[in-house]
């Protein structure tokens, strides 16, 4: 095997391991607050001095709300009551060798039934109420959400709180859900979803040796080792009052708030100590190639950044990356240049913070806040012969953004789009609750109103200054999912020109631009290219 391929068993192992109130406050209800002074400061304050590129990204802790702090988004005109129980507990809490236990515990609680209801009876009880009850887990947060018409509130509230306070925890449901989780790793992650595999591979590369590194759903060996007793003990350690924020929306009154707080006071007051996250080395130029039988090549690229919500540069950088490639929007530069003009793939997008799509929408999921954030770009799967060109094209247009900024006319179009689009992000009670709760942890009250206020005051010059401070193409790392792993690794090492042919005529201007793209340097070090077979990825 050639020198460009790393075959170290230690490397494969490293990539597969993850590293593993009672006082309540009620938010003022329906009237929207005026933008806070923070928004004015972000828009008007002198631009910070351009920093040197960081060598590490420290773990600056998120804020800690009061135990069982209550957030209320009252809407007396709505007949729907929404609940959102957000625990500051996630896959970072998975013990080494038990990767996936937090997500499995959340699934077992939300789907496995209660002491009075089997899992089947739970579904039968929810169906005639048209009620929703679900759980989701990310790196640092687990959310139990519920939604019901107010006519069925008493019955639903009993069920919703029993899920946490009196779960059934049956051996049969545990085995069923663990088998599903194993299938999600063996079949879903490794075999069916190239895009997800690429994103998880990028996480493993960016956060090697860090608690973020392993798949939230777990590893194969980790899931196999988990017992029902492990899940019971783990749930008691991490789903505790001191980690919980309670969100209520809709026709919420003081009696309902007090009832929910009173019932959830039966949770353990405290549990396991919070995980102390280590700093992340800001190492760029690495590439991980996951080899699997597939007809396409998926590419994810990014780097860890100290910038997160609340940073003075966050809003202008979020604006710039929306211009470059807002999620599943056809107006972005990458979408226009790579898909529309060149017909390369489904779509290409860019993100100022870690993005997980809200199911059934084009929006980001709320309550996936992270202590350490990453800037990422996604290249939706392309045919393998165009993989290098598409990757180079992404770098070409990112580099152009950093060097030239955003033209005035396109700046105004993008600003107008975001001033309206951000209002769609808060169109449901669940999403409004999610943003309000995220703001507690980031310390960014009225976050979306702050964003819109900042947008109104931005200029192309102020945005370009933030871009130059925060966007660093040279810091990028790359994850590829492809069948032709050896050939791609060789291309990444040697970086020969990667010409492209088209099935239909193209303009002279586009073909001239292609001449620059086909030789665009990729910031990948030849000694930092690794190949991992998909069938062993996230094994342990």
Q: Are residues 287 and 238 in the same domain?
A: no
110: exposed, middle or buried (C-beta count within 10 Å: 0-12, 13-18, 19+)?
Answer: buried
* 22, 68 contact by CB (below 8 A): yes
Q: Are residues 347 and 409 in the same domain?
A: yes
Q: Domain range spanning residue 377?
A: 280-496+523-536
Residues 6+ apart with CB under 8 A from 440: 63, 65, 69, 71, 245
DSSP E strand stretches across 282-372: 287-291, 297-305, 348-351
Q: Are residues 211 and 327 in the same domain?
A: no
Q: Which residue has the higher pLDDT, 314 or 2?
A: 314
Question: Three-state DSSP class for 288?
Answer: strand
Number of domains in the chain: 2
d(CA 337, CA 396): 11
Measured in whole angstroms, how far is the alpha carbon of residue 81 from the centre of its chain?
26
* CATH at residue 416: 3.30.830.10
Q: Are residues 236 and 322 in the same domain?
A: no
Q: Are residues 66 and 178 in the same domain?
A: yes
Q: Are residues 473 and 531 in the same domain?
A: yes
DSSP per-residue codes, 157-215: HHHHHHHHHSB---HHHHHHHHHHHHHIIIIIIIII-HHHHHHHHHHHHHTTTSTTSS-
3-state helix, strand, coil in the chain (%, to 5): 45, 15, 40
Pairing of strands 297-305, 373-382: antiparallel
Cα distance between the two ends of the chain = 25
Q: Are residues 208 and 330 in the same domain?
A: no
Angle at 82 between CA 78 and CA 85, to 5 degrees: 160
Query: 411-456 pLDDT, tens per residue?
Result: 999 999 999 999 999 999 999 999 999 999 999 999 999 999 999 9
Q: Are residues 311 and 245 in the same domain?
A: no
Q: What does pTM read for this prediction?
A: 0.90
Ramachandran sector of residue 104 (left: φ over 0; alpha: ψ -120 to 50; beta: rest): alpha
Q: Are residues 245 and 286 in the same domain?
A: no
Query: 105-156 pLDDT, tens per residue?
Result: 999 999 999 999 999 999 999 999 999 999 999 999 999 999 999 999 999 9
pLDDT-based confidence at residue 51 (cuts at 50, 70, 90): low
* 374, 304 contact by CB (below 8 A): yes
- Which of 5-9, 255-259, 479-483, 496-500 has the weakest average pLDDT? 5-9
pLDDT-based confidence at residue 15 (cuts at 50, 70, 90): very low
Q: Are residues 252 and 286 in the same domain?
A: no
């Amino acid at each position: 095997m050639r020198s460009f391929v790393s075959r170290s068993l230690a490397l494969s192992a490293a990539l597969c391991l993850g590293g593993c109130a009672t006082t309540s406050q009620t938010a003022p209800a329906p009237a929207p607050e005026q933008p806070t002074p923070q928004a004015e400061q972000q828009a008007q304050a002198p631009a910070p001095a351009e920093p040197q590129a960081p060598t590490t990204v420290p773990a600056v802790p998120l804020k800690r709300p009061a135990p069982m702090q209550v957030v209320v988004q009252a809407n007396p005109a709505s007949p729907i009551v929404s609940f959102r129980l957000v625990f500051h507990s996630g896959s970072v809490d998975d013990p080494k060798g038990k990767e996936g236990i937090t997500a499995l515990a959340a699934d077992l609680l939300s789907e496995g039934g209660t002491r009075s209801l089997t899992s089947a009876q739970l579904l039968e009880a929810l169906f005639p109420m048209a009620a929703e009850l679900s759980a989701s887990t990310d790196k640092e947060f687990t959310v139990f959400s519920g939604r019901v018409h107010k006519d069925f509130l008493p019955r639903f509230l009993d069920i919703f709180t029993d899920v946490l306070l009196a779960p059934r925890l049956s051996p049969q449901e545990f085995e069923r859900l663990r088998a599903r989780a194993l299938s999600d790793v063996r079949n879903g992650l490794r075999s069916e979803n190239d895009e997800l595999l690429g994103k998880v591979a990028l996480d493993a590369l960016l956060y090697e040796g860090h608690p973020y590194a392993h798949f939230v759903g777990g590893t194969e060996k980790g899931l196999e080792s988990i017992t029902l007793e492990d899940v019971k003990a783990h749930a008691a350690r991490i789903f505790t009052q001191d980690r919980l924020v309670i969100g209520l929306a809709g026709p919420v009154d003081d009696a309902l708030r007090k009832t929910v707080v009173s019932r959830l006071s039966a949770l353990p007051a405290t549990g396991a100590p919070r995980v102390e996250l280590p700093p992340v080395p800001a190492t760029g130029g690495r590439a991980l190639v996951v080899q699997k039988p597939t007809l396409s090549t998926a590419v994810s690229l990014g780097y860890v950044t100290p910038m997160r919500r609340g940073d003075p540069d966050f809003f202008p950088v979020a604006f710039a990356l929306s211009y470059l490639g807002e999620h599943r929007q056809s107006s972005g530069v990458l979408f226009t240049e790579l898909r529309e003009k060149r017909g390369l793939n489904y779509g290409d997008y860019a993100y100022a913070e870690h993005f997980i799509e809200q199911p059934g929408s084009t929006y980001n999921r709320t309550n996936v806040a992270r202590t350490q954030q990453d800037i990422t770009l996604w290249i939706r799967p392309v045919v393998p012969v165009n993989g290098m060109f598409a990757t180079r094209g992404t770098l070409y247009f990112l580099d152009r953004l950093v060097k030239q900024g955003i033209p005035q006319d396109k700046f105004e179009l993008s600003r107008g789009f975001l001033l309206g689009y951000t209002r769609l992000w808060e169109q449901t009670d669940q999403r409004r609750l999610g943003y309000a709760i995220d703001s507690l942890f980031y310390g960014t009250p009225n976050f979306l109103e702050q964003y819109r206020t900042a947008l109104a005051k931005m200029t192309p010059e102020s945005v370009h200054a933030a871009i130059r401070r925060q966007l660093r193409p040279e810091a990028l790392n790359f994850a590829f999912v492809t069948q032709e792993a050896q050939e791609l690794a060789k291309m990444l090492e040697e970086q020969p020109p990667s010409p492209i042919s088209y099935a239909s005529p193209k303009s002279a201007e586009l073909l001239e631009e292609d001449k620059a793209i086909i030789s665009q340097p990729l910031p990948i070090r030849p000694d930092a290219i690794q190949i991992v077979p998909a069938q062993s990825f996230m094994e342990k």
